Amino acid sequence: MNKFLKVMLIFLTIFIGVLIVQFTMDFTNSKETNKIEDANTQISPEELQTQTTIAITDIVLNQLLENIILNIEFKQHENQQDVTLYLQGNEFVSEDTLFKDSYNILKEISKNETIRDFTFKWYMLVKNNNTEVLTLSFSQDTISKVESLSYQQLKQLATHYEKHAALK
């Protein structure tokens, strides 16, 4: 019986130790989470632009599987921003394909609440010159509803739509 009590006391001590370690880790993690939330609320425009650039680049690379970003421009509006994304299409692309690609990117962009307006500017080679062939701009309202829309509705919902004659 004496051995049994000693073994039980050892297990009880180990169990209490594990509980203390777990409680300490949870408490430390909650402090770190609060620090991260505080840092996010006090983010500078430059940091916001950097985070958005990284997010957009990841979205485009994941959606299109090729490096087609020409440029990304930002206009700051307090804690939100207008973004213009310049993309390179190949010379055999159609308007329908660009709408599908834009729609897939816009679905992912809709998860970023810091974007107020978003504009796509698609370029492709026309007579050996890199030419803007399609421009689509969307308001925050449209961006937030994109999940319930289809890519075929983008033309009607765009706040600005411009198509070059060379785009089929």
Please, which pLDDT band fits residue 13 given cuts at 50, 70 and 90?
confident
Helix axes 45-64, 95-109, angle to 10 degrees: 130
Residue 11 lies in a domain: yes
Whether residue 117 lies inside any domain: the answer is: yes
Q: Is residue 68 part of a domain?
A: yes
Q: Is 142 within the bounds of a domain?
A: yes
Task: Examine residue 168 and state whether it is found in any structural domain, yes or no.
Answer: no
Same domain, 94 and 61: yes
Domain shared by 55 and 99, yes or no: yes
**CATH number of 97's domain:** 3.30.70
Q: Are 124 and 96 in contact (CB under 8 A)?
A: no
Q: What is the number of structural domains in the chain? A: 2
Give residue 121's pLDDT. 92
Mark whether 15 and 50 lie in a shared domain: no
* Residues 95-146: tens digit of each pLDDT: 888 888 888 888 888 888 888 899 999 988 888 888 889 999 999 888 888 8
**pLDDT tens digit string along 69-87?**
788 888 887 778 888 888 8
Sorted by sequence, the CB contacts under 8 Å of residue 62 that are 6+ apart come out as 108
Residue 32 sits in the same domain as residue 87: no
Is 33 in the same domain as 77?
Answer: no
Domain match, 36 and 71 both: no
- Which positions ≥6 away from 49 have C-beta within 8 Å? 74, 76, 81
Summarize pLDDT for 24-62 with one digit per residue, the tens.
777 666 665 555 445 455 667 777 777 777 777 777 776
SS3 155: helix
Range of the structural domain that residue 33 is part of: 1-42
What's the token pair of residue 34?
């609060």
Could you tell me if 23 and 57 lie in one domain?
no
Residue 30: its pLDDT value, please?
Answer: 66
Per-residue confidence (pLDDT) for residue 135, from 0 to 100: 92
pLDDT of amino acid 119? 92
Q: Please tell me whether residues 80 and 156 are part of one structural domain.
A: yes
Instruction: State which of 2-6, 15-19, 122-126 shows the largest mean pLDDT.
Output: 122-126
Q: Examine the domain organization and report whether 23 and 100 are in the same domain.
A: no
Instruction: Classify residue 8: in a domain, yes or no.
Output: yes
